[in-house]
Structure 1
Amino acid sequence: MHVISDWLYKCQVQKLVVVITSIDSSEILERWQFDIECDKTVKDDNVVRNKSPKVIQEEIRSVIRQITATVTFLPLLDTACAFDLLIYTDKDLKVPEKWEESGPQFVSNSEEVRLRSFTTTIHKVNSMVAYKKIDS
């Protein structure tokens, strides 16, 4: 996590994705995507941007509440699951040795729900979840 934190601080991450997969079938059940827009000029031009930590924390809490509320519409995952964390970064980064490249791991036959976004003085984060559509 310290590597990801450093990359976020240096504006080198464009997207974080959490992929939830069935252990039994290897089927991708959910894909939580967080698109990150970074204002790289913050460090370059020393322009002061004001947004209080209280406002930023409230926006993040709002996103967390919305994620928690997804239990009302996401299908129940009644199988053992595993998750993968995908990190989309600048191409010239040195990746830790134990990490590996993978494809985007999309959910087949999915529905998507956009979640709230939040901003800091440097980052804007848009989020969405794609989940396996239940055939009725």
Structure 2
Amino acid sequence: MSSTESAPLRSSFTIRGSTTLITEFFDFSVNNILYQRGIYPMDDFKTVKKYGMNLLVTHDEDIKSYIRKFMKQVHVWLKAGKVSRFVLVIVNKNTGDVVEKWQFNINVNEEDQDASSLNQQHEISPEQIQSQIQAIIRQITSCVTFLPNLEVNEYTFNILVFTDVTTALPQNNEWVDSSDYKLNIEGEECVQLKSLKTNLHTVDTLVSYKTAN
């Protein structure tokens, strides 16, 4: 990830454009969550300009490599219409319990798939999309005001992708079937955040967390 501003948002008219935009949104959201929740030290992050905002992204090479490889495969599956959910979970290192869950539910807007029938005046503009993303990123940042405090160095994270049953795992041993992964949080509270809508996809965002005993 470069410290210079990324390419400007493009029209989401095509499936490729919409998929690229959403994958990039996931990337920046993951980085923002890891920073805001203190999963890694503040010194592991740097400021970049994106979506007309100053955002924090990790400069730790191991974490960058992990997220980059993950997003590359997510992009492939998303483009093929196989992804229904993208979930970042925060896990207690000692107990393995999930204490926090950031969920992005993905829906394909079927009525907009036929480009020839799309009414151009109803197309969502890049400026509107940027405004939506700004609102979600700000909400993620403001969530720290009500989420429980997490002790430094006591938590880690995992990323899960929910795909349809026909999806084959890549042959690189970097992915595992996590269908039995325990996502339930005892006594959880859930907060719905704003949605991101392109012409082809809608992403609904929510955070669930473990309340104090």
Q: TM-score, normalised by structure 1?
A: 0.89
Aligned to 1:67: 140
Residue pair 2:113, 2:200 contacting (<8 A) in 1 also:
no
Question: Which of 102, 113, 116 does residue 194 from structure 2 map onto?
Answer: 116
Q: Is 1:86 aligned to residue 156 of structure 2?
A: no
Aligned to 1:5: 75
* More helix, by proportion: 2
Residue pair 1:31, 1:106 contacting (<8 A) in 2 also:
no
CA RMSD after TM alignment: 1.7
Note the residue ranges of structure 2 that are not aligned, 5 or more in a row: 1-70
Q: Is 1:31 aligned to residue 115 of structure 2?
A: no
Question: Which of 84, 89, 101 does residue 19 from structure 1 map onto?
Answer: 89
Q: Is 1:131 aligned to residue 202 of structure 2?
A: no
Residue pair 1:18, 1:83 contacting (<8 A) in 2 also:
yes
Distance 1:12 1:104, change over 3 A: farther
Q: How much has 1:95 moved relative to structure 2? A: 1.2
**Distance in 2 between the 1:89 and 1:42 partners?**
21
Which deviates the most, 88-97 or 10-19?
88-97
Question: Which of 57, 72, 77 does residue 150 from structure 2 map onto?
Answer: 77
Percent identity over the alignment? 34
**Distance in 1 between the 2:111 and 2:82 partners?**
13
Count, aligned residues = 135
Q: How much has 1:101 moved relative to structure 2? A: 1.6
* More strand, by proportion: 1
Structure 1 runs of 4+ aligned residues shifted over 4 Å read: 40-45
Look up the SS of the partner of 2:117 in the other structure.
coil
**Distance in 2 between the 1:89 and 1:40 partners?**
17
Aligned to 1:101: 177
Residue pair 1:107, 1:131 contacting (<8 A) in 2 also:
yes
Note the residue ranges of structure 1 that are not aligned, 5 or more in a row: none
